[in-house]
Structure 1
């Protein structure tokens, strides 16, 4: 079974527009603090990621990878009024300023043929940054995230952790988010150098969803940015899969990250998505004149 069912890849640049919710001056409850305020247009995937694939073109390519991958031109990402200005600024200062720069801050990065190493890693801050993206998708009503909306039931757990900047769900029972929500990262490469690393780094994917063969195997969400795939795994507390979850790509609570490199063509959805993007960007063949 494929780890995820559909993949949305975007390549190129994005305009400031996107899927934007219509203006509504009425006060609404902020999804984070709960107060009735004027809400900002919040990016589900942080807009800092989209800035990095801008190249003077107001369009990007969006690829849905299923049985027949197709690349289509698109003009933006998913945006909705979710947070008040204060909470939007809190998310940016607390999580996004760190999380969106982690994979491009070269002074903290070294690598060899098999791994990328990132030093001065702030585990809890980065973990909550990833959770904040998943949380935004779950509390939105955008149709692209309908498979994630079921997580709204976990808002009573995720919301306080994000507001209080903690992984602790219950200090009394010593329960933490990372006891059952596991995050991993892999570096996507082309060992044959047919695709430049800069091209791979310029491919993004929106949040995608997959489900295990049984409830014990959990549900999985992932996205790709800056040449890395981030996978979020949610397991039932007593799952045998959870007890045996020890992949080498796991993000661990320590001061450095050790991220394995994986060829893009070993991941079916990424391979097919890259092929669809290449086909979409290829110039159309010139047509010769027919005989008179």
Structure 2
């Protein structure tokens, strides 16, 4: 028993994934994972890099599951993400649902106690705004617009190296890092 970090109700907490399980499944299905830690040499790991901890009640797990299901489908659907020259264009996406999917990942990374996410630190007021928006399925809470505060960019990594297979590229996981120059948090999955 403990307090759910999303609904703030006392409940039996689930072992919640920090990164969505859909991301972990895709990477783990390819075997060994290459993990790149900031300021360290890349390491090959067979371990479960998808960190979990008691965080959410069953009901709130289901809320995040709906975001993850939609977000995963958008990301993998070739009809939604199309190549236009060297750029990618996204069509027919429910912005609110997809944005809340991405915000839910950032929120979990911000509230976890796991050592790999210590760089992801946000003020309590921002975490509370994110929590309320995720829980209530809204982009605005008490006149604060989440999308006015947090800008998210999605970048597709193109493999231009003949010696690196696309499968190997899919196995790479980079732990969160802070880009001091641009004052941005970078999370790559």
Q: What TM-score, normalized to structure 1?
A: 0.58
Q: Which residue of 1 aligns with 2:8?
A: 34
Q: Which has the higher helix share?
A: 2
Return 5+ residue gaps in structure 1 as ranges: 1-26, 226-292
Q: Which residue of 2 aligns with 1:60?
A: 33
Return 5+ residue gaps in structure 2 as ranges: none
With over 3 angstroms needed to count, the CA separation of the structure-2 counterparts of 1:204 and 1:73, relative to structure 1, is closer
8 Å contact kept, 1:110–1:118 = yes
Q: Which residue of 1 aligns with 2:17?
A: 43
Q: Which residue of 2 aligns with 1:222?
A: 186
Q: Which residue of 2 aligns with 1:273?
A: none
With over 3 angstroms needed to count, the CA separation of the structure-2 counterparts of 1:113 and 1:32, relative to structure 1, is same
8 Å contact kept, 2:80–2:91 = yes
8 Å contact kept, 2:33–2:173 = no
Query: How far does residue 56 in structure 1 lie from its aligned partner after superposition?
Result: 6.8
Q: Which has the higher strand share?
A: 1
Query: How far does residue 170 in structure 1 lie from its aligned partner after superposition?
Result: 3.1
Q: How many residues align?
A: 188
1:111 lines up with 2:80 in the alignment: no
Q: Which residue of 1 aligns with 2:72?
A: 100
Q: Distance in 2 between matches of 1:200 and 1:61?
A: 9
1:170 lines up with 2:142 in the alignment: yes
Q: Which residue of 2 aligns with 1:128?
A: 100
Q: Distance in 2 between matches of 1:193 and 1:113?
A: 21
8 Å contact kept, 1:141–1:149 = no
With over 3 angstroms needed to count, the CA separation of the structure-2 counterparts of 1:72 and 1:190, relative to structure 1, is closer
Q: Which residue of 2 aligns with 1:290?
A: none
Q: Distance in 2 between matches of 1:107 and 1:121?
A: 11
Q: Which residue of 2 aligns with 1:71?
A: 43
Q: Distance in 2 between matches of 1:112 and 1:197?
A: 20
CA-atom RMSD in angstroms = 2.2
Query: Which has the larger Rg?
Result: 1
1:88 lines up with 2:61 in the alignment: yes
Q: Secondary structure at the match of 2:109?
A: helix
State how 1:1-12 maps to structure 2 within 5 Å: none
